[in-house]
A and B are shown apart, each in its own frame.
Chain A
Amino acid sequence: MEEQVIDIAVIGGGPAGLAAAIAAAEAGVKRIIIFDRQTELGGILNQCIHNGFGLRYFKEELTGPEYAARFIAQLAEYPQIEVKLETMVVELTSDRQIITTSRRDGWKIYQANAVILAMGCRERPRGAINIPGTRPAGVYTAGTMQRLMNIEGFRPGNRAVILGSGDIGLIMARRLTLEGIEVAAVLELLPYSCGLNRNVVQCLEDFNIPLYLSHTVVEVCGEGRVTGVKAAPVGPDRCPIMERSFMIDCDTLVLSVGLIPENELSREAGVQMESSTGGPRIDSGCRTSVPGIFACGNVAHVHDLVDDVSEESRIAGKAAAAYVLGAQQGSEPNRVKVEPGRNIRSVTPQEIVAGEPTVLYIRAAFPERDVIVAAGRHRSKHRIVTPGETVRIMLHPEDVDFSAGVLPVAIEGGVESNA
C-alpha cells in the first residue's frame, strides 16, 4: 500500500492535540494532520458542559465546549493543519509509521517525521476494581454516564450511588441532581476526597449530597437492573468491615474510580513507560524515549485542569516542530533526571533539559498540612497537599544543578492530614 509522508501527526483532537498542533504550526511546520475518532474536535471537553475551565489560560470561566471552541476557531488561521475526523489510528510503529482507518478513506498508511501522542485517558471499569455481586444493567463509569446524558440526551437512571470522589464523580453528582436523578450517596474508599476541593464544595456540599469517606461498595445487587448496592466502611488497611455493611437502594451505580492514560499506541511504538503516572516517560520538551515521538496532556499524566494540558501541549508542539525543522543545537544539551523523594507519588516531566523553561507537576502520595515542596534549589510553602490535587511548580534555571545529574523532589516537614 502507498504511504503518505507528513511532517507531524497529532493523534487525538482534544485539548492536548489542538494546542500542540497550533503551537507546531506557529513554529513554521508545513504539513500537520490531527487524527480524531470522534465526529467533532474537542475530545472529552464536548461532554463537560459544566463551567470552571480556562480560569488560568484564558482568565475567564468557560464550559468545556466553549474552551474547546477557542482552539478550534484558531485552526482557521492555519491551513497547514488538516483535520481528519472519525478517523482512528490503529497502529503506530517506532519509526513513526501510522495506520489509520475511517469510513471515508478506508485504511491508510502515513509516514510522519514526528508524532505527538495526545490520546487522553480512559476510566477504570468495574472489573478493574473487582466489585463482587451480580452483573445487572445500570453500572456505568462516570464518563459514560456523562456521555449518555450530555451528548446523547438519555436518562440513564433514577436513583444513583456514586463510588469514588474523583472530579468526574463529583461533577456527575451535581449533574444528576440537576436533572432530577437522586444521588443517594457518594462513597470514597480513602479517608479524603480524590477530587479538587472546589468540586467537593460546589458539587456535593452545596447540594447536600452525603459523602461517605472510608467506605466502598462490597456488592452489586439486582438481576436485570441494579436494585441496590451493599456498602461498608473500610478499616485503615482499606479492607471492608463486613459486619458494618448496609444496603443502599438505587438503580444505578456510577463508578469514578480512577483514570488511566490511554497508551496502547505508545506501547506499540516501544515508548518507555513511567509506572507512577501510567504514561510515557517525558522530558521538559515532552519528548518520549523514542526519537520524534512526543506526548502531552492526559496521555502523559492525568491533569487536574485543562489549562495545564493546553500549556504543556504547546511545549510538545514547539519541541516537535524543532525536531522536524532540524533546529537542534550542535551539542547535546545537559539533562537531569527527576528523583522522587519523600511523599511523592509522581513527578512530571521525568527529565529536565537545560535551557527549557519547566513546569513540574507533583502529586503527593498522602495528604499533609504545612509542607515545604523542594525541587532542586526550589523551596515553596504549601498549606496543604493531597493526592487529589497536583502541586504545580515553575522551575527557574537557577533552581536546577545540571552538574548533579539528578533533581531531587520531595515534600517535607508536614503534618499528616485527613483533609
Chain B
Amino acid sequence: MRPHAPVSVVFFRCRAPVAAAKMRAAGRPASAGAFEGTWERGLSGFSSIARGGLRGISSAFSPASRTLAALLVISYAAAALALPYAIVAPSGTDDTNWAQRALAPWWFPQPRGVAAGWEKERELHFHDQKWTSAYWRDYFYAIDHPSVTRIVYRAALHAAGIRELVNKPWDGTISNDRNEDLGHILPYRVRTLMRSVNLVFFLATLYLIFFAGKRALGSGGLAFLAALPIAVEPVMSKTQLSIVTYIGDDAILLFMVVLFWFAWLWAKDRGTAGAVVLGAAGGLATATQVNGCLPLLAAVVYYAIYARAWRRVALPTVMMGTAAAVFLALNPVYLGGAAWMARALRDTMSLRTYIRGQQPCGPGDFTRVETILAAVPHIYFYLAVAAVAFAARRTSWFGVTAFWSASVFFGNLALIHKAVPRYAAPIRVALLVLFMTAGLTALGDAWRARPARGPATSAACREGDGGTVREGAE
C-alpha cells in the first residue's frame, strides 16, 4: 500500500475482498453492490427492536454502530450545553495572559545563567508582571505553569495564522471596566478558537471515560450511562469559569488525568511496558499542571503495595523516571545544570506561593467547609458511594480506579482554595467515575440476576434482625 492512501482506497483494498468472501460464503453473489440489501437489513433491524425491545437493539445494530451512536449522543449533549457559553461569554481576566503565554516560546530559548542583581530584578518582575525584556517574560511564563497547555494553544493559534497579539494583558491593579476600556481583552476570534480547543479536549475526555467504562463494565450501554452525567455536568460548561469557557489549562488537565486512568486500566498487568506507559501519561499530566502528578503518585503507591518481589521497587522507579524525563523534555526551562534547576524549581514554588497569597479565598466570604461543599456536594451521598464501591471491590478494575479516584479526589480537595467550577471539575469527575462505574456494575449484576428473587429471601429479613418479608394483606 502506498503511503498516505485515502481511507476509501484502504477500505476497498483491504476490506472489500473480505466482504466478498463473506457474501460468497453466505450464498450470495460476490458482485452484489455494497448497499444491496441495506433497506431489508434496516427493516429487519427495526422489526427486531420492535420485537425484542432493548435486547433487540443489540441484534439490530453492529457494535461499531452502537458505539458511534453513543459517542454522537454524548458529544451532542456536551456541545449543546457548552457551546452557547463558549460563544457568547465575554473575555475573562486571564484570557489575554494565556494567549500571550501560548505565543511566547515555551522552550525558553534564553541563556541559562545568573547575573549580578538577578534576585532583585526577579522579585521586581514577578510582582508587577510588567516585562522590561523578553528574558523575564519568557522565564516567568516558563516557570509559572508547565508547558503542555501552552504547546497545545500555540499550535492552534499558529494553525489559525495568529502569531502575535497586540492586546496588552489584563492589569490586575485597575478595575475590570477600566481594563475593558483599555482593550485588555482577548479578541473574539482568538478566544473562541481557544475555547474550541477546550471543547475538543473535553469531548476527548468523555470518549476516554466511555471507552474506559466499556473496558471496565463490558457493556457499551452501561459505559454510555457512565459518561453521560459527566457530559452534562454544569462545572464543565455552564458558567464563565467552567473548564470549556475558561481559557486555561483545566480542560487539558482533566483530559490528562482521565487519560492516566485509561492508561492504567490498560497497563495494570503489563509489567515494565505498562510502567513506562504510565510514567509517560503521568509526565504529561504533571507537565499540564503540577497537581496532575497526583494519580502518578497513587500509581507508585499501588505498585509498591500490590506488585510482587523486585517489582515493588522497579516498577515505581521506572514510572517515576519516565515521568521525570517526559516532564523535563516538555519543560526545558529546568535544564541547565543542577544549580540552575534548583533555582528554577525554587522560583516556581515561590511564584506559586506568591500568586496563591494574592488570591482571596473565593468570590465572597467562603469558609473552608463551604468551599468543599460547593465543589462537591455529592458527599451528602457518602453512604451510597461507599456501598457501591464496597459491592464492586472484587472486580478487576476496582483497585486501579479506586486508587486513581482517591488520589484525584482527596488531593485536589486538599488543594482547592476557591469554589470555582473549573477547580471542582477533576474532583467531581474522580467521584463520578468511581460511583458510576461501581454503581453500574451493581446495576448490571442486578439486571442479570433479575429472574431470581431479590434479597428479600435472605436471613436478614427475619423479624428482629431488620424486619420481615411482607406477605398478604392485613
Do A and B make up one complex? no
| Residues in B lying within 8 Å of A, measured CB to CB | none
Chain A residues with a Cβ under 8 A of chain B: none
